[in-house]
């Protein structure tokens, strides 16, 4: 299927008698590259940029200066172009990827506008609004690429390579991690994904792709001025990507094709219809965009895709990693919390709680709603920073480490409200667990060098699904799972991560009685194999039949510890639970 894209390369021949369409084809290829840069940034990483045209501008002006002012080869111009787009992305990304919500898009607008003004005003360097003319044509193997036909071969070839590389990226651990990050940064981080670093890398890749498009643009027109690198242009690319469907590669290509043709067509036709001259195409363009966004909020591609035969990715064939590392002696302390304390404003949510967890046991942390269980749990897993106290994992202090570092040491968690990625398949959700057990970086992923590792990751995920009994749903979207199945999937994801210590936050909540029994027997069989489980719940019935030891919390304090029988008899515990029932 993906080799089909190489058929694009035949298009220039077909269109060769029509120079106008060859020009359009080149513009399509360049727009498609920029739209693909937004696929990386928005579709995969969930960020929005209004500065893609500025990155193009970096690529275009860099090569113009290198070739015209320094008289060097355009290929050095390419290096300079990619380099300067990369540097701009590093600067902009370094400053902004940690920003939340609207601040990232807003700051990209600011940079875009500033750079545009700069390009128009540094007249000595950039030629101001008149621009720089007579850039040399690109040449390959001694052939100057100075016609629309020759240039189209280059742009389409590079576009095809880019599509292939991004397809590879999407189907790698990096692509999965980016999608996970977009869905839920905390959940992604708890499986070893470093959110800030990954977002920055996506930003760098995206900026560099746009820079490449800018370089090609400059040598196609052999002329640069600020206009094509304005905020308006940036918005145009964003519109293409979003209207086509920014969540998929065919979507952004469709958007690029549709809007490249549309704009020109409207420019020619509208004055004919309306009988007078004017910039009506902008209005027409706006109306069509509004219609698309109303009728197809996820873009045009999902509408088209419905009519295409669906591809079955098949089950993984690779050799799975083992689900768990060889264990140490049972009964040894694996996790210890000492005097943990945390307040939120004036509320003391956890007030000096200590406990230890021994290998091969199920320790339950129970207490009425609001007792501070989840907070304690988050302090242990690194999702919250304690005000006081320490946490030790396998004897090593982990207090204050970020979740992705703690995870790497062998601790996996689930969430009180399942944090899954509804648009990914069950298998891909589980495969996120393998993130910190696999290695491929951006480059290997783009070049398709991580396929073997990826097969292994998927096979490991599948093995974990088998372990919890979800294998028959492996290829379904996670959004189709019931609550009980979602909780099992979260456990499978932790198993796929190779974690030895499992922290489960209210795994029984929302389950039917039968599902609770199945969950209990799954957890019991896991500890028999050598896993260690810390389970947080307020469901006494589930805990009493399951836990080896119980720690009871109320109002942030530990009020009892012992076997299920002991704590059940404890008057303090009874009072705490009766108190809750009276309120309820």
The yes or no reply on residue 370 touching ligand ADP (CB under 6 A) is: yes
The span from the CA of 203 to the CA of 195, in Å, is 12
Applying CB under 6 A, among 284, 372, 382, 564 the residue interacting with ligand ADP is 372
Residue tagged 């799972």 (tokens):
481
**Residue 558: strand, helix, or coil:** strand
* Least distance in angstroms from the C-beta of 240 to ligand ADP: 40
Nearer to ligand ADP, 63 or 374 (CB): 374
The piece of 61-69, 79-87, 213-221, 410-418 that touches Mg ion (CB under 5 A) is 410-418
**Which residues on adjacent β-strands are paired with residue 396?**
393
The piece of 76-84, 99-107, 408-416, 518-526 that touches Mg ion (CB under 5 A) is 408-416
Its sign, for the CA torsion 503, 183, 511, 491, is: negative
Applying CB under 6 A, among 52, 375, 456, 486 the residue interacting with ligand ADP is 375
Nearer to Mg ion, 2 or 417 (CB): 417
Nearer to ligand ADP, 187 or 266 (CB): 187
* Least distance in angstroms from the C-beta of 529 to ligand ADP: 28
Structure tokens at 548: 């080896």
Which of ligand ADP, Mg ion, none does residue 370 bind to, with CB < 5 to 8 Å depending on kind? ligand ADP
The yes or no reply on residue 374 touching Mg ion (CB under 5 A) is: yes
* Least distance in angstroms from the C-beta of 345 to ligand ADP: 7
The yes or no reply on residue 369 touching ligand ADP (CB under 6 A) is: yes
The yes or no reply on residue 42 touching Mg ion (CB under 5 A) is: no
Nearest-10 Cα torsion for 335, 522, 476, 177:
10
Which of Mg ion, ligand ADP, none does residue 282 bind to, with CB < 5 to 8 Å depending on kind? none
For 34-94, give the secondary structure using H, E and C.
HHHHHHHHHHHCCCCCCCHHHHHHHHHHHHHHHHHHCCCCHHHHHHHHHHHHHHHHHHHHH
State the number of binding residues for Mg ion (CB under 5 A). Answer: 2
Which of Mg ion, ligand ADP, none does residue 367 bind to, with CB < 5 to 8 Å depending on kind? ligand ADP
Residues 337 to 356 in contact with ligand ADP, rule: CB under 6 A: 344, 347, 349
The span from the CA of 564 to the CA of 470, in Å, is 30
* Least distance in angstroms from the C-beta of 192 to Mg ion: 24
Nearest-10 Cα torsion for 342, 389, 570, 572:
-40
Nearer to Mg ion, 26 or 378 (CB): 378
The yes or no reply on residue 374 touching ligand ADP (CB under 6 A) is: yes
CA distances from 558 to 94, 123, 512, 554 (A): 43, 71, 29, 7
Comparing C-alpha atoms, which of 486, 426, 487, 482 is closest to residue 458? 426
**Which residues on adjacent β-strands are paired with residue 338?**
390
The yes or no reply on residue 367 touching ligand ADP (CB under 6 A) is: yes
Nearer to Mg ion, 83 or 370 (CB): 370
**Which residues on adjacent β-strands are paired with residue 336?**
356, 392
Structure tokens at 68: 């015209």
Binding site for Mg ion (CB under 5 A): 374, 416
Binding site for ligand ADP (CB under 6 A): 344, 347, 349, 367, 369-375
């Amino acid at each position: 299927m993906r080799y089909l894209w190489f058929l694009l390369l035949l298009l220039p021949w077909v269109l060769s008698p029509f120079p106008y369409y060859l020009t359009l084809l080149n513009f399509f290829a360049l727009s498609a590259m920029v739209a693909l840069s937004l696929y990386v940034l928005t579709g995969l990483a969930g960020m929005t940029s209004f500065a893609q045209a500025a990155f193009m501008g970096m690529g275009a002006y860099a090569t113009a200066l290198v070739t015209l002012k320094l008289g060097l080869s355009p290929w050095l111009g390419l290096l300079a172009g990619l380099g300067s787009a990369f540097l701009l992305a590093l600067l902009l990304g370094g400053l902004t990827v940690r920003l939340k919500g609207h601040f990232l898009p807003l700051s990209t607008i600011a940079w875009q506008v500033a750079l545009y003004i700069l390009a128009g005003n540094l007249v000595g360097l950039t030629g101001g609004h008149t621009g720089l003319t007579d850039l040399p044509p690109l040449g390959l193997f001694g052939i100057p690429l100075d016609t629309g036909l020759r240039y189209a071969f280059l742009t389409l070839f590079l576009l095809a390579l880019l599509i292939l590389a991004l397809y590879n990226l999407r189907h790698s651990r990096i692509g999965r991690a980016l999608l996970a990050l977009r869905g839920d940064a905390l959940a992604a981080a708890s499986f070893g994904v470093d959110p800030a670093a990954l977002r920055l890398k996506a930003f760098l890749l995206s900026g560099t792709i746009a820079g490449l498009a800018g370089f090609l643009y400059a040598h196609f027109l052999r002329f640069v001025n600020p206009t094509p690198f304005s905020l308006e242009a940036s918005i145009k690319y964003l519109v293409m990507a979003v209207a086509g469907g920014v969540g998929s590669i065919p979507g952004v290509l469709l958007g690029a094709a549709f809007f490249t043709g549309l704009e020109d067509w409207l420019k020619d036709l509208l004055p004919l219809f309306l009988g007078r001259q004017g910039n009506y195409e902008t209005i027409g363009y706006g109306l069509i965009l509004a219609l698309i966004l109303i009728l197809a909020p996820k873009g045009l591609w999902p509408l088209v895709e419905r009519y295409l035969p669906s591809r079955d990715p098949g089950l993984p064939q690779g050799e799975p990693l083992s689900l768990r590392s060889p264990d140490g002696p049972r009964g040894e302390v694996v996790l210890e919390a000492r005097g943990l304390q945390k307040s939120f404003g004036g509320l003391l949510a956890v007030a000096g709680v200590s406990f230890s967890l021994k290998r091969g046991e199920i320790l339950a942390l129970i207490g009425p709603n609001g007792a501070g269980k989840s907070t304690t749990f988050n302090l242990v897993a690194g999702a919250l920073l304690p005000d006081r106290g320490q946490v030790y994992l396998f004897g090593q202090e982990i207090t204050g480490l970020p979740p992705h570092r703690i995870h790497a040491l062998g601790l996996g968690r689930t969430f009180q409200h399942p944090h899954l990625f509804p648009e990914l398949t069950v298998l891909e959700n589980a495969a996120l667990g393998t993130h910190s057990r696999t290695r491929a970086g951006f480059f290997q992923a783009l070049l398709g060098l991580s396929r073997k590792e990826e097969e292994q990751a998927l096979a490991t995920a599948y093995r974990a699904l088998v372990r919890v009994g979800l294998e028959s749903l492996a290829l379904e979207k996670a959004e189709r799972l019931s609550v009980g199945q979602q909780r099992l999937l979260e456990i499978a994801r932790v198993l796929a991560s190779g974690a030895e210590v499992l922290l489960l936050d209210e795994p029984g909540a929302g389950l039917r009685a039968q599902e609770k029994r199945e969950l209990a027997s799954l957890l019991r069989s896991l500890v028999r194999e050598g896993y260690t489980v810390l389970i947080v719940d307020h469901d006494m019935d589930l805990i009493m039949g399951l836990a080896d030891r119980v720690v009871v919390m109320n109002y942030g304090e530990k009020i009892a510890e012992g076997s299920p029988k002991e704590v059940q008899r404890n008057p303090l515990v009874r009072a705490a639970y009766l108190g809750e029932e009276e309120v309820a």
